[in-house]
Amino acid sequence: MKCPKCKTTELKKRTINSPYFCNSCGGMWHLNDSKSDLPENTIVNITENQVQNEHDCKTGMCPSGHGIMIRARVDIDEPFYIERCTACGGIWFDKGEWQRIAEHNLADNLSIIWSKSWQRKQSREKNRESFLNTNRKLLGDNIFNSIVDLAEKLKEHPEKDRAIALLRQETM
């Protein structure tokens, strides 16, 4: 089996039950969704993720020969993509990606990463984070925190619409 990113390097197992690894780029080929044979602690220099970005900008061919793999965006810390073969279910992790998946407790159910609902949830969370950060910068910490505190208090209040209308009226 050849590395889907290096294209010429043969993938090798480190132990009988381990996934396949590329000694050239540090990628990992995992043949099924079970976590049992995945390494618990893959030692990776995370600062090398910038170098690995060249591999993350494109998908590759399934090392088992099933054609092009599909990608899923993972929006944790710095976003990245992992690839999966739709025929055999094998998953390709570029160097450092498995460690990031494991650190964020996503390893137990890898297949969920390709679901539309998970992707939508990740997108909503990223958009909300961006929205909040923009407003914090524009309003300043004091006003922003006051508004967030007030919003939390009003979430379940039966007259929250009236309170919002009052706030609107008083700021005109």
Q: Do the beta carbons of residue 95 and residue 26 sit within 8 Å?
A: yes
Exposure of 71 in the CB half-sphere (CA atoms within 13 A): 15
Instruction: For 92, list phi and psi in degrees, rounded to 5.
Output: -100, 130
pTM: 0.69
- 3-state DSSP call for residue 94? coil
pLDDT at 54: 63
pLDDT above 90: residue 109: no
pLDDT at 46: 38
Instruction: For 73, list phi and psi in degrees, rounded to 5.
Output: -80, 135
pLDDT at 68: 93
What pLDDT, in 10s, does the model give residues 66-103? 999 999 989 887 889 999 999 999 999 999 999 999 88
Provide the 8-state DSSP code for 69. P
**Which residues are CB-neighbours of 13 under 8 A, at least 6 positions away?**
19, 20, 21
pLDDT above 60: residue 65: yes
Is pLDDT larger for residue 38 or for residue 20? 20
- 3-state DSSP call for residue 6? coil
Q: Where are the domains of the chain?
A: 12-115, 121-170
**Mean pLDDT over the full length of the chain:** 84
